[in-house]
Structure 1
Amino acid sequence: MKHYYYIFTGAGLSSLMTVYKMALSGRFNDKSVLLIDSNSKNTNDRTWCFWEQGKGKWDNIVSKNWDTAWFSAKSFKKELDFGDYQYKMVRGLDFYAFIFNELKQHPNIEFANQKVVDFADLQTHVLVKTETENYTCNKLFNSIYNPDIPKKGKHPVLQQHFKGWFIKTNTPVFDDSKATFMDFSIPQKGNTRFMYVLPVSSTEALIEYTLFSEHLLPEEEYDSAIKDYITGLGITYYEIADKEKGSIPMTVYPFWKNNTQNIMHIGSAGGWTKASTGYTFKNSDKQSEKLIRFLEQENDLRKFYKTNRFWFYDLLLLDILYRTNEKGSEIFAALFKKGNASPVFKFLDEETSLSEDLSVIAKCPKSLFIKALLRNIFRI
């Protein structure tokens, strides 16, 4: 039974970011590291988007960026002012190739293409079982999400679920200088539903149907909505070059309470997803940075957690969407109606002052948030 100092179960975004930063830091070269995942990470299984000011550390794998985008509601369509932000897109396959290319240069880091079936903290060490082998380690970081865990809590659990088609047309139909950030003009059907359009050229775009709701849809309903939207854009001929789909948990459940001295849950399994929006890339980037600094100083993984006022803001929005899921379009329309997106981006990145928080929150429908505040005031 082979022993490693660190094992990462699941080689998704959070694990790969953390191990990559371990490798770059040079401060973990004396620690053996094993990544375990049943997926070999050699396909383009997802696309990540995030907003960022100026140049960033991931720019060399950003496949497209936009300085502005459209926002559409039932009653208006607005070109957003990003200020000094850019909206950036990273393809999953580009990210995986970039990370693994670096990890290959570090002999202390290994990858096992196996399915994890169990793990346990035995106090002196951690035991990890796969379908074919068993391993031990000093510290385990788990990013395999168990949907049953947050259901045991007292907080609402929604899903950001989506399906996207990357299409190619035979004539120029897209303006690739502008993305469509959110289009709520589509039928809401009692939910929070919107379309993304991410054009990478005049004839190529990712068109994605996204919902914030409690339950997933039948597969054909995602496809039907995308087809209808493409027809509404006036596109009569296109080819589907690629597809992606996924479901991201939206919850403020305190995942850190399930950590032990030697096991930490990370990524969506550890609450690293921004609960109110489902955005993952930027949050994982920040959390992995914090984790690296933490590991240089601490040995007890139970100490890695922090709650702040943004946790409570997320709770309020999720409470509203859980009870009145159809109100999502109204809330986001209020946030972006004036077209000034940069204060909202800064707020969602949890980088605002309290006064800036209040100026953003003041744009939202007041009655909805006052009622949610009264329901949740004692959870602060």
Structure 2
Amino acid sequence: MSTKSFDFIIIGAGLSGLHLAHSFLNDPFFKDFSIAIIDKSSKSKNDKTYCFWEKGKGNWDSILTKSWTSALVYGTSKKINVPLLPYTYKMVKSLDFYNFVLSEIEASNTIQFFKDDVQYVNEDNIVTVTCNTNSFQAKHVFDSRVTEDFEKDKTATTLLQHFKGCTISTKKPTFNPEVLTMMDYRLTYKNTTSFMYVLPITPTKALIEYTFFSPSLVEDHIYDSHLKTYISNTLSITEYTIIESEKGIIPMTDYKFKKHHTDAITKIGTAGGWVKGSSGYSFKMSEKKSKRIIENIKTGSHPTNGLYNNKFELFDVIFLKVLKDDNSYGPKLFQDFYSKNEMAIALKFLDEETSFNEDLKIVWSLRSFKFVKAFFKTLFRFR
């Protein structure tokens, strides 16, 4: 087995790996570098939907499925109109994202894509990546594989964002394509934080997902029965066709993924703690952290320099602790979050960009004994 040498290797052509590849390709500093990206999949299937918000135009506008500037939240006791401007909420199908970046890679002389399955990574004076059919070496490796230690860890506070959804087509105009439903708590499962999420694409087409933020998974029939009830009873749709379905699990956790970084290996994506612990959103977080890595390399810093913010990690831990201790509290929590805060500040907070005064406004809106209790339980971990 011959060994191929590169300046950098990216393990995994998922969200984080392709964001990082895109950032390398769009910075002329790296035009003479050699980079490999390895994945066991050819990334030829639409396996998920990415959603995010941002101000104005963005890098992915040409591949958007849909975008919105208005939203609704149905809480425990009220309907909340959520004006999103100056932000726009955007939807991208994973296959469109894969194709976009993989086309950039194919057209470049900087990055090579290898379809192969990584078996193990050995760090010595140089990092060796051994796969089924190839062997690679690089000065630095960006690894998106989640360590087995995460599943074994019993000390981290972890919730699972798990969901099942379907894109449906109706015979009659049913949806308002200008307004998405971010959370609808009118149909929850037992004492869990569970809600419907509706992305209307046209008046006759929408993606509807049943989502949980909970400590454990549920059986498939729970998703299916609640989706069916929501579509027929809440949305009053009697005739529809399911076009496609999707299902996923995203860890929302305070597990210290960053402890697995080394001098020559940087963990990225979920494996690097890039999923926002309190929301499960990762698209913009991956884009931002990839850009930070690029700047770090250019300035001679370690790629992980400045990737993490202790203040927002503390907020995430408190949030996770509150919902882990009382999973039925989610509907009330999110109703307060969306009804008591200016949406621009709320989204800025979720983007980890708020000032101290803005943080105080958010925290004050959510004040309760549950949060005070969670705060003191977790504070010692950040001393």
Report the TM-score, using the length of structure 1 for normalisation.
0.95
Match of 1:168 in 2: 169
CA contact (8 A) 1:155 1:252 kept: yes
Match of 1:121 in 2: 123
Give 1:306 deviation, angstroms: 3.1
Unpaired runs of at least 5, structure 2: none
Match of 2:146 in 1: 145
CA distance in 1, matches of 2:183, 2:302: 42
CA contact (8 A) 2:296 2:302 kept: no
CA contact (8 A) 1:151 1:157 kept: no
What SS does structure 2 have at the residue aligned with 1:235?
A: coil
Match of 1:286 in 2: 288
User: Which segment is superposed worse, 182-191 or 152-161?
Assistant: 152-161
Matched ranges for 1:50-199 at <5 A: 50-122=52-124, 124-146=125-147, 148-149=149-150, 151-152=152-153, 154-199=155-200
CA contact (8 A) 2:292 2:307 kept: no
CA contact (8 A) 1:80 1:339 kept: no
What SS does structure 2 have at the residue aligned with 1:75?
A: coil
Match of 1:20 in 2: 22
User: Which segment is superposed worse, 312-321 or 31-40?
Assistant: 31-40
Give 1:184 deviation, angstroms: 1.1
Give 1:350 deviation, angstroms: 1.1
- What is the CA deviation profile of residues 273-305 of structure 1, one whole-angstrom value per residue up to 9, with x for unaligned ones? 111000001111110110100111236456564
What SS does structure 1 have at the residue aligned with 2:250?
A: strand
Give 1:118 deviation, angstroms: 1.6
User: Which segment is superposed worse, 303-312 or 44-53?
Assistant: 303-312
User: Which segment is superposed worse, 283-292 or 30-39?
Assistant: 30-39
CA contact (8 A) 1:255 1:269 kept: yes
CA contact (8 A) 2:341 2:362 kept: no
Match of 1:308 in 2: 310
Give 1:187 deviation, angstroms: 2.0
What SS does structure 2 have at the residue aligned with 1:110?
A: strand
Match of 2:244 in 1: 242
Change (3 A) 1:153 1:28: farther
CA contact (8 A) 1:263 1:301 kept: no
CA distance in 1, matches of 2:372, 2:188: 27
CA contact (8 A) 1:82 1:340 kept: no
What SS does structure 2 have at the residue aligned with 1:261?
A: coil
CA distance in 2, matches of 1:147, 1:363: 38
* Structure 2 residue corresponding to 1:345, chosen from 344, 347, 355: 347
What SS does structure 1 have at the residue aligned with 2:255?
A: coil
Give 1:131 deviation, angstroms: 2.4
Match of 2:50 in 1: 48
CA distance in 1, matches of 2:16, 2:160: 19
CA contact (8 A) 2:25 2:110 kept: no
CA distance in 2, matches of 1:92, 1:302: 26
CA distance in 2, matches of 1:209, 1:302: 35
CA contact (8 A) 1:261 1:301 kept: no
CA contact (8 A) 2:105 2:113 kept: no
Match of 1:370 in 2: 372
Match of 1:31 in 2: 33
Report the TM-score, using the length of structure 2 for normalisation.
0.94
Change (3 A) 1:343 1:140: same
Give 1:37 deviation, angstroms: 0.9
CA contact (8 A) 2:41 2:115 kept: yes
* Structure 1 residue corresponding to 2:268, chosen from 258, 266, 269: 266
User: Which segment is superposed worse, 124-133 or 86-95?
Assistant: 124-133
CA contact (8 A) 2:294 2:303 kept: no
What SS does structure 2 have at the residue aligned with 1:351?
A: coil
1:295 aligns with 2:286: no
- What is the CA deviation profile of residues 80-131 of structure 1, one whole-angstrom value per residue up to 9, with x for unaligned ones? 1223111111111111111112112212311111222221212x11121222
CA distance in 2, matches of 1:16, 1:187: 35
CA contact (8 A) 1:2 1:136 kept: yes
CA distance in 1, matches of 2:305, 2:89: 34
Match of 2:209 in 1: 208
What SS does structure 2 have at the residue aligned with 1:260?
A: coil
Give 1:353 deviation, angstroms: 0.7
CA distance in 2, matches of 1:163, 1:227: 12
Give identity over the alignment, percent.
39
CA distance in 1, matches of 2:325, 2:226: 24
Unpaired runs of at least 5, structure 1: none
- What is the CA deviation profile of residues 133-191 of structure 1, one whole-angstrom value per residue up to 9, with x for unaligned ones? 32222211111224642642632011111111011111111111110011111123121
| Matched letter for residue 228 of structure 1 | T
User: Which segment is superposed worse, 215-224 or 362-371?
Assistant: 215-224
| Matched letter for residue 352 of structure 2 | E
